[in-house]
């Protein structure tokens, strides 16, 4: 009987020791060493110390292309008459544009509409009277800026009665965009350094960068000529391309040390 009790006690002791060892192993693997904990806290602290700024770079350039919206608008008693008249005049306008060395691929229809009018200059028309207004507008690209005046005059002389505007831009802004980006990076770093100095830290590595997209990768500003047909007095008048400025914006995040 004593031998049986002794054997049972031995088995119980072994089981208890086994459980203690297993618990110790679990605790040792679940809890990082003090040195590991310190390194983790340092990494967390470093990654949370950063500054994000927006750098802006601007380059001034001379435009090399112009775009203009040229339209024809007619009013006739019937849809057929209005449509036929608008088509005939627009064909003359396009022929005039081609004669001014505007390439056919640089002429694109942008707007066409037919509208039934039931109001005249003095108010409502007669009950059975309706007029139809047809509008047809093309956008053209002018690659020889010295010919702008001649191109618009030719369009007006051939029957165009709406010119919505002349915009100046660059045919290929890629190289100018690259220069503007470089200036934006320098501007962003200057801003980051200024902010870092205020809190007595230094600027470290770049942690992230993204481009703030505008028109064509950036946005133009400058001297644009806008004209309405009523202001032109039968001629295009003097048109100056002036100077454009292309601006790129970059958002950059720097590490602070």
> Taking a C-beta distance cutoff of 8 angstroms, is the pair 184, 57 a contact?
yes
**Does domain 50-62+172-227+241-256 bear CATH number 3.30.110.170?**
yes
The pLDDT, as a whole number, for residue 238 is: 64
Q: From first to last of the 257 residues of the chain, give the pLDDT tens digit.
A: 444 445 454 445 444 545 444 444 444 444 555 544 444 343 334 446 999 999 999 999 999 999 999 999 999 999 999 999 999 999 999 999 999 999 999 999 999 999 888 765 555 556 567 889 999 999 999 999 999 999 999 999 999 999 988 899 999 988 899 999 999 999 999 999 999 999 999 999 999 999 998 644 555 554 333 333 333 334 555 677 888 899 999 999 999 99
CA–CA distance, 127 with 118 (Å, rounded to integer): 8
The pLDDT, as a whole number, for residue 124 is: 57
The pLDDT, as a whole number, for residue 56 is: 96
* DSSP code per residue over 111-140: EEEEEEE-EETTEEPPTT--EEEEEEEEEE
CATH of 65-169, one of 3.90.1150.200, 3.40.50.720, 3.30.70.2970, 3.40.50.2300: 3.30.70.2970
> Taking a C-beta distance cutoff of 8 angstroms, is the pair 167, 67 a contact?
yes
Domain ranges of the chain: 50-62+172-227+241-256, 65-169
The pLDDT, as a whole number, for residue 125 is: 56
């Amino acid at each position: 009987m004593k031998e049986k009790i002794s054997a049972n006690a031995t088995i119980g002791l072994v089981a208890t020791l086994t459980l203690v060892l297993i618990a110790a192993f679990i605790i040792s693997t679940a809890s990082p060493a003090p040195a590991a904990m310190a390194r983790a806290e340092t990494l967390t602290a470093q990654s949370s110390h950063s500054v994000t700024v927006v750098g802006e770079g601007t380059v001034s350039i001379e435009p090399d292309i112009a775009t203009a919206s040229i339209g024809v608008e007619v009013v006739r008693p019937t849809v057929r008459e209005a449509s036929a008249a608008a088509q005939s005049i627009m064909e003359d306008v396009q022929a005039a544009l081609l004669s001014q060395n505007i390439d056919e691929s640089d002429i694109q229809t942008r707007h066409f509409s037919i509208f039934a009018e039931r109001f005249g200059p003095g108010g409502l028309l007669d009950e059975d009277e309706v007029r139809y207004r047809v509008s047809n507008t093309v956008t053209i690209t002018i690659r020889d800026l010295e010919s702008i005046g001649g191109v618009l005059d030719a369009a007006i002389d051939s029957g165009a009665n709406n010119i919505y505007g002349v915009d100046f831009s660059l045919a290929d802004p890629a190289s100018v965009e690259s220069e503007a980006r470089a200036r934006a990076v320098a501007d962003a770093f200057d801003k980051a350094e200024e902010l870092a100095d205020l809190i007595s830290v230094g600027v470290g590595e770049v942690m992230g960068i993204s481009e703030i997209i505008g028109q064509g990768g950036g946005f133009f500003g400058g001297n644009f000529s806008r004209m309405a047909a009523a202001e032109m007095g039968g001629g295009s008048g003097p048109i100056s391309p002036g100077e454009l400025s292309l601006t790129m914006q970059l958002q950059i995040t720097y590490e602070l040390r």
